[in-house]
Structure formats: structure tokens, C-alpha cells
Structure 1
Amino acid sequence: MHRSGTSCLTGSLQEAGLYLGDYHTWNPYNLKGNRENQYIVDINDSVLAANGGAWDRPPTGTVRWSEQARLAARELFARYAAQSPFGFKDPRTLLVLDGWRELFPHMQFIGIFRHPVAVAASLHNRSGMPHQQGLELWYEYNRRLLRVHTGRPFPILCFDEAPDDFQEKLYDVLREMGFDATAWQGEFYDEALRSAESGESMEIPWRVRRLHRKLQKLAI
């Protein structure tokens, strides 16, 4: 889900040797950059739009990829074929994931989540999104995260962990995924760049609370 520590996670993976291609290094709401490859984002946006959705309006039902979108993804990955390991981050991917998995079935995943209130508050601060809409959006993204994990488990981190605990667990994940964890210094993580902590008072729908508890139990 957006505003959940995905940029911190991706920047840390990059420190450990993950190649991201062309990626964003700065924006007003993320001073170290969201680490997103705009070509990936454009593909995801095009698939969402073709299915009547957007990043903040997850489509219902089966998401279908056009042949044009498939070709764009293949061409992009071919461009990075000499780079290993190559990876990308875009929360929208959860909404269109079936197409990516069909094209590249051997992809490895790593997930991260954050307290729903913190995410809703951050979305409100960034773009004025109503808190309840932010909570519902958190649910739509993270229920997909849980579904994918149920089908094929992979590491999931909790961004609400204390900094030292988060870094320690991230180190373990990097090592388990085959990265040279000894070369990783953990310098990308910056507590000062966190926004909207989870202590704000907000009514949370029961299904959001239940899903959050499930993710907490799965987190390493």
C-alpha cells in the first residue's frame, strides 16, 4: 500500500545490490525519492485505466492486460536483461499482479505494511484524501497482499517496528533472499522521513482491524 514504507524498503534493497533501472530520486513528499521506475508505473496505470480503475479506485473483478501492455512489459524487462538482480516497486502492482506473474512467473516478492491509521493520515496530509477513504484503500491493497502471500508465502515486514528491530529483520530478509547482506549498511532508512504516526484517533472499520491483525501475525 502507498505510504507504507515501500520506498524505504526498496531503497534498502537497492543498497544491497538490487538494480532498479530509471527511478525517481526525489519528490516533495518523499525526500529520498519513492524509488519507482516510471515505465513500470505507466504500464500499471494503463492497465488500471483500461479496466476502469486507478491507483485510488481499485478495479473490481478480473483485471485484463491488453497485448500492448504485455509487449511494453516484455520490452522493458528485455532492456534490463543484463542487470541482475533487477527489481521494481510500485504499490499499484498489487492491483494488476496477475499479468506480471503470468509474464514473469519466477519473480520473488517481499511485502511491507503499516498501521492503517498512519497510512490514512499520511494520504490525508499529502493529498487531502478523507480518512475513511484512506482506510478503505488500505484494506483493498492489503487484502490483495494477504491473498498473494497465502498462495505463495514470502517475507512481509511491518514498518511500524522500532527502527533497530526493523533494520535487524530487514537484514535477515536480505540474507534469505540471496543478497550480500554484509555489504548492506542500512543507510537508506531515515526515521526523520517518517510521516503521520499511528497514534491519531480514528474510527477503524472492523474488517480493517481484522486484516491488520492477520498481517501482524504473518510479519517476520
Structure 2
Amino acid sequence: MAHMAYTTPPAPTVGFDLDMTLIDSRPGIHACYLALSERTGTHIDADLAITRLGPPLAEELINWFPQEQLAEMADLYRSMYPSIAIAATPAMAGAREAVAAVQAAGGRAIAVTAKYEPNAKLHLEHLGIHPDEVVGDLWAEQKAEALREHGAGIYVGDHIGDVRGARKADALSVAVATGPCSADELSAAGADVVLADLTEFPGWLAHYRPARA
């Protein structure tokens, strides 16, 4: 009788977005915008700004500063950020467990974010979340560069920009409805899987891998 060979699917490399996927960056960013407003004497509606997190910093700053000041204001914001935003920023529910689930399965977890890379690393170190790699300064389709480079077959994010990045990298798009985009918007943008939040991710991953065998 022929012996059936059962092969375990290869452990995946999974990319994760940072803001509103792994970390709830709203309180820290809110505080940093208020401090920037005070420092520059320019009105910034921090309450409004934190409702549209995801895109690069310059796309928010252009609402409050003239084009010729953007580079200077971005540098000032980033320099103020570590002392103001890191301690104020909690992990999203299930974030540590989601990264750990990938690593426990023998896979690699990478954070790919539009955030300034040194500040992204500070957040993860502060919260005790330990992905295998952190790649910053990439937004939407640009994220595909890092996903391809690291061989990520899955990308987890909260924004339609993350869905676009996953699709460009030919990675499975797993979306969490914890950021500015609703589950319906994420589905409409082409997400393959939509979860309420990262607490659902380890269970999804456990079922996804045997299904791939």
C-alpha cells in the first residue's frame, strides 16, 4: 500500500503594518502634533489628524504648513517624537501574540511601515514586540519593495494603502478593521481576509497553514 506523505507547508514570512495595526499610535501622535503646534505657533487640529493615520507625515503636514516648510517641520516633528510619543503609545490588542504566532510557527515577522524607521524601532522596543526586521519610510505600493525583498507571502495592515502594497507584492492581504478604514472599505479595496482585530490573527494563521498543505 502506498505510503501517504504529509508535508507541512513552509513557515510563512508575514509583514505587519505599524500604526493602528501593531500599535495604537493615536495618543502619541496627538501629543506630538499639539507640541509641534505650540512650538511653531501654527494651528494643527490634532483630533482631526489622528483620524487619518497611515499615509506619510508630509501628507498630513501639508494641511497645516506651506510646501516650503514641510521638510523642516517633518524633521522637527521627528526630533520631538521620541520624548513625547513613545511612552504614550500602547500596543494594539493581540499585537504581541500575532507576531509571536508567526515566529512560533517557524516563520519570520517583519514590520513594514510609512513611519520614520528609527521611531518605528523605538515603539516596538518600548512595547516588547520583537519582529525579525523593521523597515520604515514605505507607504502603500512602496511597501511591496520590502515585502518582496524579504519574501513575505502575507501582509497584515489596517489601511487600503496596505491592501494595495500587499497586492503589488503578490502577497495575501490580511486586513484588520482597527484603523481609519472600515471592514467594508478594506474588502472593497481587495483584501483577501478581513479580521476585526489582531486577536483573531493567531487562530486564522493556524487554520490557514494546514489548508495550504
Give TM-score scaled by structure 1 length. 0.28
Structure having the higher Rg: 2
Give TM-score scaled by structure 2 length. 0.29
Larger strand proportion, structure 1 or 2? 2
